[in-house]
Structure formats: C-alpha cells, structure tokens
Structure 1
C-alpha cells in the first residue's frame, strides 16, 4: 500500500508557509495519517541548521551571493541524505521550501546564472521530486507588512524590488510545472486554508491508505 507523499510549501517570506505546513499536518492527522515528517529549508538536520544560521544571520562579514548559494546547497544535501531519502518511501514529508526556492531567490532575486543552479542540482544528485508543490502567491508589500514587527533575518531585510523579482520567478516556474498549485495568499488565512484543504484532500483521495 502507498501511504507516503512529498508535499512542499513555497512562497516569499511573509506568505504564511509555516502556518500552512502546520495546518496540513493537522489535516493529515484528521485522516488518521500519522507517519509525518515536517522539515524546512535551509535546515532540517543539525549541520543544516548551523548552515541556516550562517545564511540568515551573518552580518559582520561580506557575504557574496555565490557563498549564499553554495551554503544553501550544502544544507540541502544534508537534508536529502539524512531526512528525505531515508523516509521518502515510508512517510508523508512536509517541507517548508525545497529546490524551486533556489531558482526563485538565487536566479530571480539575486540574478545568478541558471547554469550554476543546474550544476549544483546535478552535483548533489537531487532527483527526488515532490508529489505536489503549493505555492502561496502574495504581493510583496502585503507579505512584508505581515512580518514588519518580527526580528528580521538577512534575507527578510531585502527590498520590495528583490521580493518582487523572486515572486515573478516563482510564477514563471509555476506556469510551466503542473505539480505546482498556485494559492492566492493575499486572501484571509481562513480562505487560504480552505483552498489548501481542497488540494490536500484531493491528494489523499488518490493515495491508497
């Protein structure tokens, strides 16, 4: 019997990814699905969490976009080898971000050449694809308004223009990939949950439990 899926939640900072990840876990448990692993990127393992802190909170040293990119892929490799690959055939894995974040943030936001992302994807042998990617699409102005009172990390402190470029690249990817489901995250949380619920229940119904 197939009782495992790989679900990824994507979106710019402030789109509500963490809230929706936790909501999906609640939904799965309502269907008596308990073999669930929740993770996030960058991070998800002890080594990856240390890299996450470097990526997000380095302030006193010049931090190039290439350094950021390499650290993100080092973190992703740790997550792949220690969490995703060992559990992909036995668990429902819910991930707050995955590889298309690198395309949106590093290519769209930072302007890094796509060939470097392609090389790194091949280098870490990342051939594991999600069953569904839920992209929470939100106006960057609204997103940054939502997080204005929290202590922001290095990336959250980027400009509106940066997040607009990231959002546009997300949408560019989503239009070409059928497994990416776009949810309007400008709406109320209840409305977003309702739309997400429809996608997840459809996924569950096509899964033999």
Structure 2
C-alpha cells in the first residue's frame, strides 16, 4: 500500500511522468499503483455497483494520492475501461481438447465458473448494467469480449480444419453463441448458470454450427 504523507508534509509528491506503453517494469511503482487501484475498483463494483464508484474514494481505499488517480484515469469510465482491459489480459487461455465440442464445453465451463464467482459475477453484472447507459463503458466491454472471442476462435477454426464444421463457419459467432445464453440466464434470473447450462450452450452452438447456421 502507498501511504499518504504525514500531516504537515507535502500534500503529495510530484507525479511521475506517464510511461510509454510497454516500458513499465513489473514491480515498479507505476505497476503497483495500477494493481492497487484496479483491485479496489473491482471490489467497489462487485460490492456496491457502478453508481458508487468514485475516483477519490478508490484512491483513498487503495492508499494512493487522488491526484495520481485523476491524472492517470481521468474519470470513472476511464478506470472501468482499464479494469476491463486488465481482466481480459489476465483471463485464462483457451483449452484445446482435440474436438470442437470438447473445446467449447471448456469455454462454457469457464464462463459458468466466472459468473458463479461471488466477486466476478457481481462485477460483470455491474459493468453490463453501466454499459447500457454509458457509451465509454459499453465500448470498453465490447473490447473485453473481442479479446476473449479472439482467444477462443482458433478452437472453432481448428474444428473447421478437422472437418467437424463446414468451411466458411464464422468462428467468432460460434464462440459468442456459447456464452450468450449463459449471460442471458444470469441477467434475467439473477442466478449464475450451472454446469448443465454450460453443457447445453456448447452443444447447441456446435449443433447449429454443424448445420451451417454460422456460415456466411
């Protein structure tokens, strides 16, 4: 934790210059600040929702000077965008089982585990709700899913190459077809989908793909 200065001392040290992309050394002060702030932002989103996310409060809870937080992220939506970007980077890589159905079952199981997690499920609900009325949050959420779809799309492409799916199958659409009913179940019922729901989603997506629904 980065402590605030003692009373009577300078209110806050001179801010460090923003580093060039890709130059931040792991373990450096900038990386520690980002890690602390994003962790707190995620906690607040999961516990209290988007409406309660405040940069000054996040800075206080993270033990970081609020000037640093405002300078780096600029706004709540900027902070949420960075949080989603970090989550996409930290997400587990795809599983390759040797069959498109096995791979997409693994994808569905990962989505179900994520949505069932007390922190992650609540965080996603908060961000999805915010995205419905905030354009920048919606764009950040879109980018998050673009990264995740791109990670799993090769499983479908390999299925096409093995002859399991028709040539011309849109890999991204198949991956989306797996997760879409799982998120819908969460948002409409408030209950995270279980393993059986994941199995059904994967099986339905593969059956549709084999039938040529996603060719075009």
TM interval, short-chain normalised? 0.3 to 0.5
Specify the structure having the higher radius of gyration (Cα): 2
Higher relative contact order, chain-length normalized (CA < 8 Å, sep 6+): 1
Which of the pair is proportionally richer in strand?
1
Report the TM-score, using the length of structure 1 for normalisation. Answer: 0.33
Structure with higher helix content: 2
TM-score, length basis structure 2: 0.32
